[in-house]
Structure 1
Amino acid sequence: MELRHLRYFAAVAAEGSLSRAAERLHLTQPSLSRQIRQLERDIGTPLLERTTYGTALTPAGAALHRHALLLLRLADAAPDMARSAVGQSREVAHIGVPPGMPDGWLLDVLAALEVGVPRAAVALTEASSTEQLRMLREGHLDLAMVHEQPQARFRAERLFDVPFGVAVRPGHPLADGTTCRVRDLDGLRVLAHGRQQVPVVDDRLVVAAHDAGAVLLWQFAQFTEHARACAQAVKADAVLLVRHSARRLLPDWPWLPLTAPELALTTWLAWPPETRTVVGDVARVISAHPGADIGEAG
């Protein structure tokens, strides 16, 4: 996905018409249509509905449109930010993020940091929770966003909880439901992240299945982008994921929230108790950023 694709998409959304957007962008309509199709291929889902009156956003298109406008605003502001930084000193804050963190929430946090801590230059590093905590101990990270409660040696804030669910293989009997009890997975092959990525899987979920009297044929794997290939490799009936990851990685597999018991993936923010002032200020802004709607993110 390139920034120009988002500019073209935003223009079509604003005009409600490919032809009017093409005229505004000084492109031919076939050329603009190709660019939009390329963006839809990159995203993996239709973004526009063609109608007799022009174009309308699909639900996925509406969700992308909100984030596209934020990205474009940040991109347009970048030159002014660079010029304003001349002669000013900015301190780098190295922040770890786990794979699969919702892009919308991260972009909102970055925007909040630009306003709340303008002297901070943020550098993000994607790594598993285990790897992040090691890097934090060794001083390679200033802050870590992790899926396990940090040790007492660190300061920590609970950011948000996201409900777990299962993405069910299309055509499976469970795919017609609206929720999934843990005992409904009895005898099924369930793909889940390995302990190094999401420690809660090996602990609470396995215990919950045992308490429910269900024998799940657990298939553990390390994956961030290739959930479909991993599921196919082990012939999984279902894949354990939070909703936004399921929609991104397996958009055609129905996702059902887990119930009886309900289980959630918790994200924590951790940082050393003795640190630079700018790191503490960054931690304060991130900790105050709401994450209540993440469970509904697409």
Structure 2
Amino acid sequence: MELRQLRYFVAVFNQKSISRAAEQLLISQPALTRQIRLLEHECGTPLFERLPKGTFPTPAGVALHKHALTMLAMAGSARDVARQAGPVRQPVALGLAPGLPGEWVDRLLTAVADQAPLAELELTDGDTTVQLRMVREGRLDIGLVHQEPSQDLVGGHVRKEFFGLALRPGLPANEEEEHCRLSDFHDQRVLIHSREQFPLGHDRLLATSHELGVTPAWRIATFNEHARACADATSSVAVMLTEASANRLLPDWQWKQLKEPTMALETWMVRQPVTRDIVKKVADIILRTFR
């Protein structure tokens, strides 16, 4: 149970309306509804009755309201104590997708620290599907994902890096050639990410392979940190990933950018349309720094 959920609960209790409470809290109505349902699930009992005339507390909701006011009052007094020591820092939950280079993330953190010193970033690792769900549920303020956001979210493009193949040591290769082609790996085992990790790129790769008449012996796995183990388990001669990931996960494997077809890993910043000012500020900093 989180203090944020209790604040949401008290707002609905006072407003007797999900929609009015959402306007007061500056979050979307579906996100508020999901948080109330999560709180009810955690409590193990309904806290509100949804009636045509409004949203009214159950006996359990009335009992929780008194407890919630006490806890929020205590949290408020804790903030007062903190304010005496200096400006209040505001938490901003930021999601990081797998594959983002460490130096790029460091630049992002430095930019936010310099331009929004009152933002306290809370970082979460998560793939695109998980992050988009968390943003819509109100559990993540900003996501950095590998999929262009749909119209219900605000977003912007922040990064593009090309895919290539990391070649197993000992594999015959032209050292002078900076690129490689899919046709070079016809009938050979090539490890690629699962569709859940990179849906658009996964589908495009298989479709393009079919169009070119090239049929590598694809090996598919869900991996972020254990590329080497997955490659060994599948006896793959090459692994498809970005240069930054190859340098980190397979430093002794030679990486060549894939050509014919050329494929890129795109990264977008996403957030809810209605959110806190500090979240908007951090999101704008990310876009200004990397767009």
With normalisation by structure 1, the TM-score equals: 0.67
| Matching of residue 258 in structure 1 with residue 258 in structure 2 | yes
Q: 1:139 to 1:179 in 2, by over 3 A?
A: same
Q: Helix, strand or coil: the match of 1:134?
A: helix
Task: Report the Cα distance in structure 2 between the residues aligned to 1:261 and 1:215, rounded to whole angstroms.
Answer: 13
Q: Deviations over 1:189-233 (max 9, x none)?
A: 111111222223421211221222101211111111111111000
Q: Is 1:91–1:278's contact at 8 Å kept on the other side of the alignment?
A: yes
User: By how many angstroms is 1:148 displaced?
Assistant: 1.0
Contact 1:200 1:265 in 2 (8 A): no
Q: How does 1:170-249 map to 2 (within 5 A)?
A: 170-174=169-173, 176=175, 177-249=177-249
Alignment of 1:8-27 (within 5 A): none
Gaps of 5+ in 2: 1-81
CA distance in 2, matches of 1:135, 1:85: 34
Contact 2:201 2:263 in 1 (8 A): no
Corresponding position of 1:101: 100
Alpha carbons 1:189, 1:237 under 8 Å: kept: yes
Instruction: Note the 1:82-161 alignment, pairs <5 A.
Output: 86-161=85-160
Q: In the alignment, which residue of structure 2 is the partner of 1:270?
A: 270
Distance in 1 (alpha carbons) for counterparts of 2:261 and 2:99? 24
- Residue by residue, what CA displacement relative to the aligned partner does 1:220-265 show, whole Å, maximum 9, x if unpaired? 1111111111100000011001001001111111101001221100
Deviation, 1:85, is 9.2
After superposition, give the CA deviation of every residue in 1:18-47 in whole Å (9 maximum; x if it has no partner): xxxxxxxxxxxxxxxxxxxxxxxxxxxxxx
Query: 1:287 aligned to 2:287?
Result: yes
Task: Name the CA distance, whole Å, in 1 between partners of 2:84 and 2:143.
Answer: 26
Q: 2:171 is matched by which residue type in structure 1?
A: H
Q: Report the Cα distance in structure 1 between the residues aligned to 2:87 and 2:124, rounded to whole angstroms.
A: 25
Give SS of 1:288's match: helix
Partner of 2:61: none
Shift of 1:185: 2.0
SS in 1 for 2:87: coil
Structure 1 counterpart of 2:137, one-letter code: E
Report the alpha carbon displacement of residue 123 of structure 1 after superposing the two structures with TM: 0.6
- AA of the residue aligned to 2:119: A
Give distance in 2, aligned partners of 1:142 and 1:197. 21
The Cα offsets for residues 63-90 of structure 1, whole Å up to 9 and x where unpaired, read as xxxxxxxxxxxxxxxxxxxx99933111
Matched position secondary structure for 1:236: coil
Per the alignment, residue 72 of structure 2 pairs with none
Instruction: Count how many residue pairs are aligned between Structure 1 and Structure 2.
Output: 209
- How far apart in 2 are the matches of 1:135 and 1:196? 16
Q: Which runs of 5+ in 1 are unaligned?
A: 1-82, 292-298
TM-score by length of 2: 0.68
Runs of 4+ in 1 over 2 A off after TM superposition: 83-87, 173-178
- Residue type at the aligned position of 1:208: T
Distance 1:175 1:92 in 2: 50
Task: Assess if the C-alpha contact under 8 Å between 1:175 and 1:254 holds in 2.
Answer: no
Instruction: Give, in whole Å, the separation in 1 of the partners of 2:275 and 2:99.
Output: 28
Structure 1 position 175, deviation (Å): 5.9
Give the secondary-structure state (helix, strand or coil) at the position aligned to 1:96.
strand
Sort the Cα spacing of 1:210 and 1:84 in 2 relative to 1 into closer, same or farther, 3 A. Answer: farther
